[in-house]
Amino acid sequence: MAQLTDKYNHLSAEYAQLKASQAQQRAESEQIKASQAQQKAESEQQKAAYEQQKVAYEQLREIVMNMATHSGTCAPNPFWSYNHQPPPGSPPPPPAPSLY
């Protein structure tokens, strides 16, 4: 009888350990699931922010392109490139700075 009682106690202790281990594994699994859900939500937020920036960029690009096409002229370049002749009637280029 003592042998059976010892065996029962040993098995009960093992069962309690297994139950505790299983509960810990469940808790860890739930933490992992929560972390994955949070990462997914953050990823979705980043994706939505990217899409908003993309739309804003396209709108800004459209505005700039419309401004360029409606103005009909470009801003005058105050400096002439090398070997470039100024248009007739334009002011002379600015003087070169003194080197000494």
| Mean pLDDT value of segment 74-83 | 54
> For the whole prediction, is pTM greater than 0.85?
no
Are 80 and 86 in contact by the 8 Å Cβ rule? The answer is yes
pLDDT for the residue 74 = 55
pLDDT of residue 58: 92
Q: Are residues 89 and 76 in contact, defined by beta-carbon separation less than 8 angstroms?
A: no
Helices (H) and strands (E) in the chain, counts: 1, 0
Q: How confident is the model at residue 90 (pLDDT cuts 50, 70, 90)?
A: confident
